Amino acid sequence: MRVHTLKRAVVALALALPGAAIASVVAAPAAHADGCYTWNRTLYQGRSGSDVRELQLRIAGWAGNNNVVELDGRYGPKTAAAVRRFQAAYGIRVDGIAGPQTFRKLYQIQDDNCTPRHFSYSEMDDGCGGSGWDGGPLSTTQTRQNALRTMWKLEALRKSLGDDPLIVTSGFRSRSCNSRVGGASDSQHLYGNAADLISNDKSLCQVARQARNHGFSGIIGPGVSGHNSHVHVDSRRENNQDRSTNHTYWAAPACGIPAGNR
């Protein structure tokens, strides 16, 4: 687990202070939480802006069964519902309002480069060995941003699986890499929207079933040829730049998830 130097310093300071001072230090939101992003206002239904979009990116994995949270910068009912699920999962007040408690928790689980603490850009970059996010149909910036959303969904999935590690065996693939491994011609891996997963602690079926609740519109796992050794998850429904219609497709027949659109 990666831990911020700033957070370690705050904890050390708090431990050095007596009773009431400890509560004050721990409870007070930091003026600048870390090197990634700091929210400066409470967010709730009806609000909009780039700060809402930053929130939506981080709670995209709490969308609920067969649903997605669009990164549109508008705090609507789906965003509020995802915030409530996030709050419940992390044991903070459940009200659907993103305020100091919610932001503090997000600061705790993100690193200075905006990735969630259990996933990194390096493990998501090119299933054939790391290409710097180039060689796909999108710009490196767009691909990297898609991969960031994928990682936040994976963080939510991991949390719901008891915080047992998930291992990414293939993330973004360049066109040459995708061809080399026999990927679909318009694979979501090309866009940074997909990850192939295994776990040493949970069965593949546990991973596939739980993924249905965490914003993944593409799930392919055991029972499908070529997917009996891992679970593929992706965000195809949110991809407006591929050659496919936006839809949800799940298939893991061996896990009780019949193949088909939802």
CA–CA separation, 248 vs 238, rounded Å? Answer: 10
For residue 258, what is the DSSP state?
A: E
3-state secondary structure of 260: strand
- Residue range 195-211, pLDDT digits in tens: 999 999 999 999 999 99
Choose, from 4, 118, 227, 232, the residue flagged as catalytic: 227
The greatest distance separating any two alpha carbons of the chain, rounded to the nearest whole angstrom, comes to 62
Structure confidence at residue 33 (pLDDT): 58
pLDDT at 6 over 90: no
State whether the Cα torsion 213-216-218-219 is positive or negative.
negative
| Model pTM above 0.85 | yes
3-state secondary structure of 110: strand
Tokens of 1: 């687990």
Neighbours of 10 (CB within 10 A): 15
3-state secondary structure of 169: strand
What does the pLDDT average to over 155-169?
97
What does the pLDDT average to over 3-30?
41
Structure confidence at residue 129 (pLDDT): 85
CB neighbour list of residue 51: distance below 8 Å, 6 or more residues apart: 39, 40, 41, 43
227 is annotated as an active-site residue: yes
CA–CA separation, 239 vs 224, rounded Å? Answer: 23
Q: Per DSSP, what are the bridge partners of residue 195? A: 233
- Residue range 33-60, pLDDT digits in tens: 567 999 999 999 999 999 999 999 999 9
